[in-house]
Amino acid sequence: MRRILAVVAAAGIACGTASVAHADPVGFSYTSDVGAYPFEGSASWGTGQVDVWEYGDAVKVHAESADGWDWARLELSAPAGQQLHEGTYSNAAVRQQNSPQLATPGFIAFRGTRAGGTGACAEPGSTADFTVTRLARAADGAVTDLDVAFVLHCTSTAATRGEAHFHR
């Protein structure tokens, strides 16, 4: 009987740990190699500073400081004819904002401040790899949960590595 209770208790602890791990904090953060663009250095935004929505066939992640001074945005899309879902997308190509899907996965990356203007990862040959580990939508299609990790190579071999977590 003790063994059965111990197994049940261990299973409960394991399930409890799994549900805590599932509740990732809301946030967007990145760290860049020297020479990376448009993301430079490192930055992070937390709860109340990150929003996610889907427009057309792209999932958009927008992070902005409370005063609007500092912001970043990623737009991620699956290959043409597909909807973004959980999985790994390699060699995603730069895509023009609100343009038709590409034959390969696509991405757009923007970084801005009120003082420094806006930079975009828009050079031909720029690539990204991203992994969506969680993507859930409400009945109306609105994104309710997103966990994504990414690596951007925008204008050089320098990389920006980051992640975004959103839970409504």
pLDDT (0 to 100) of residue 124: 81
Task: Of 29, 15, 67, give the one whose Cα is nearest residue 165.
Answer: 29
2 in a structural domain: no
133 in a structural domain: yes
Confidence check: pLDDT of 160 > 80? yes
Query: Which one has a higher pLDDT value, 22 or 72?
Result: 72
Q: What is the tally of structural domains in the chain?
A: 1
pLDDT (0 to 100) of residue 16: 37
Cα→Cα distances 64→55, 69, 100, 142, Å: 19, 8, 26, 20
3 in a structural domain: no
8 in a structural domain: no
Structure-derived torsion over alpha carbons of residues 21, 24, 25, 30, reported in degrees to the nearest 10? 120
Confidence check: pLDDT of 49 > 90? yes
Structural domain that includes position 62: 25-167
pLDDT (0 to 100) of residue 37: 87
148 in a structural domain: yes
Q: How many CB atoms lie within 10 A of CB 57?
A: 19
147 in a structural domain: yes
Residue-level length of the chain: 168
Confidence check: pLDDT of 133 > 80? yes
The three-point CA angle 109-167-80 to 5° equals 45
Q: What's the average model confidence in pLDDT over 15-28?
A: 55
13 in a structural domain: no
| Residue 144 near residue 121, CB atoms below 8 Å | no
Position 23 confidence tier, pLDDT thresholds 50, 70, 90: low
105 in a structural domain: yes
Least-confidence region, from 20-24, 34-38, 44-48, 136-140: 20-24
SS (H, E, C) 60-128: EEEEECCCCCEEEEEEEECCCCCCCCCEEEEEEEECCCCCCCCCCCEEEEEEEECCCEEEECCCCCCEE
pLDDT (0 to 100) of residue 21: 42
Q: What's the average model confidence in pLDDT over 116-128?
A: 85
- CB within 8 A of 148, min separation 6: which ones? 61, 74, 76, 130, 131, 132, 133, 135, 163, 164
